[in-house]
Amino acid sequence: MARPSRQTLALPSATSLRRLYGNSKPPPPPASAFRRAASVLLLAAAVALPCAVLYRAVVSNAPPPVQVVWDRWPSREWGPPRAPVVVPEAEEDRDLDHISADDLDSEYLKLEQVLQAASMDNKTIILTTLNAAWSSPGSVIDLFIDSFRHGVRTSSLLKHLVIIAFDRKAYRRCTEIHTYCYALVTGNVDFSQEKRFLTAGYLEMMWKRLDFLRLVLEKGYSFIFSDADIMWFRNPFPYFYPDGDLQVACDHYVGNATDLRNIANGGFNYVKSNNQSIEFYKFWYSSRLRYPGYHDQDVLNFIKHDPYIMDIGLTIKFLSTTYFGGICEPSKDLNEVCTMHANCCIGLQSKLHDLRIIMEDWRDYMSMPPSLKTSGAFSWRVPQNCSLSLLNQ
């Protein structure tokens, strides 16, 4: 039997059907047309499926995007080296703060690697955070690191310091001056500019920092957290209590380490990783919803009275301003001071002015003969641009 010609199999157009049948409904197309359409679809699927599988395999085996690799590996002296990340020139100015949720697992793995490299033998690290406003040469972060180098038994602690960068500029600056740097994923929020006290951007940055510290505890690492506007002059570990889960500095210290009337300052604390501290940080972070418009330090001073603290078994110890002082309440004896904080101070330039004077005073003290040091006659020249009275205006 002769094979039907291509013309025989051609389907009539809609126009020709209307001409033939007028306004009446045209008959359905012949069954052979359905068989031909089904054959075409099966052929297309047979071609497309292998291509899709091949494409997925290529994508799965491809290296991760450049922007995900933000942690800085330690030098050869402290750990395994890593080849530097090369950012293509066309992508040099891309905003790398916006990393998709699919990459978060990879980011947390890199965090674990950085923490492990910087950790002391007992899984304790030192943490600070940094944004672009505090990262410029000669700014806060340089003074912070310089204080370690000029302190008493503090320079060796730098190898346990991890700087958490909130933005690309801060991260790049960190990699120029320090070994252990990690870029914190910040979603669609720009943390690069100076955040004025209690503005919306300031509050969001403080709460994000707190939630990050909770994650560090959950990874099993104890830490000293220090704001970058704190100068380190002595190793603080001998001045911590052996039985405190959370040990926190104060804006005002009433003379007793367990007295809840102490005014806590969240900018410096020593936290042991255990079930109590992890649960407390979850409680602390969730309490932001109970106290909208307040920052983490205010909320800490609210919730320290909450019965839930006793329920979870958390031991809080407040650190004396004799050793851990600040502009609010300066350490009076330079023979005992461990840290000095530019607290009770609003504005970057005011902080920088008084922090530089603090560093000058410390260098002058260190250059004095022992007899003059022990006399206790030397005192700080701050506050000048920073003061508690200015904060309350």
* Residues 320/248, Cβ–Cβ less than 8 Å: no
Residue 26 lies in a domain: no
SS (H, E, C) 116-152: HHHCCCCCEEEEEEECHHHCCCCCHHHHHHHHHHHCE
Residue 58 has a pLDDT of: 39
Residue 40 lies in a domain: no
> Which of left, alpha, beta for 199 (phi over 0: left; psi -120 to 50: alpha)?
beta
Residue 123 has a pLDDT of: 98
* Residue 104, helix vs strand vs coil: helix
∠ Cα 341 345 349 (to 5°): 100
Per-residue pLDDT of the chain (393 residues; tens, 9 = 90+): 444 443 333 333 333 333 333 444 444 445 555 455 555 555 555 545 454 444 444 334 433 332 323 333 333 233 333 333 333 333 333 344 444 445 555 677 889 999 999 999 999 999 999 999 899 999 999 999 999 999 999 999 999 999 999 988 999 999 999 999 999 866 555 444 444 444 556 678 788 999 999 999 999 999 999 999 999 999 999 999 999 999 999 999 999 999 999 999 999 999 999 999 999 999 999 999 999 989 899 999 999 999 999 999 999 999 999 999 999 999 999 999 999 999 999 889 999 999 999 999 999 999 999 989 988 888 999 999 997 665 454
- Could you list the residue range(s) of the whole structural domain that residue 170 is in? 99-373
Residue 85 has a pLDDT of: 33
Which residue in this structure is represented by tokens 């461990």? 338
Residue 79 lies in a domain: no
Q: For the domain that residue 247 is a member of, what is the CATH number? A: 3.90.550.10
CA dist 74 and 180 (Å) reads 6
Nearest to 265 by CA among 288, 246, 237: 246
Residue 174 has a pLDDT of: 97
Residue 45 has a pLDDT of: 52
Q: Read off the pTM.
A: 0.72
> Which of left, alpha, beta for 375 (phi over 0: left; psi -120 to 50: alpha)?
alpha
Residue 62 lies in a domain: no
Dihedral in degrees, nearest 10, Cα atoms 128, 182, 75, 149: -20
Residue 24 lies in a domain: no
Residue 358 has a pLDDT of: 98
Residue 203 has a pLDDT of: 78
* Residues 231/144, Cβ–Cβ less than 8 Å: yes
Residue 157 has a pLDDT of: 98
Residue 3 has a pLDDT of: 41
Residue 128 lies in a domain: yes
* Residues 300/248, Cβ–Cβ less than 8 Å: yes
* Residues 318/250, Cβ–Cβ less than 8 Å: yes
CA dist 286 and 105 (Å) reads 23
CA dist 293 and 189 (Å) reads 18
H helix runs in the chain, sequence order: 6-9, 14-21, 31-61, 104-118, 140-150, 168-177, 200-218, 275-286, 296-303, 307-312, 348-366, 370-375, 388-391
Residue 74 lies in a domain: no
Residue 3 lies in a domain: no
* Residue 101, helix vs strand vs coil: helix
Q: Which residues contact 222 (CB under 8 A, 6 or more apart)?
A: 122, 123, 124, 125, 270, 271, 272, 273
* Residues 99/68, Cβ–Cβ less than 8 Å: yes
Domain count, the chain: 1
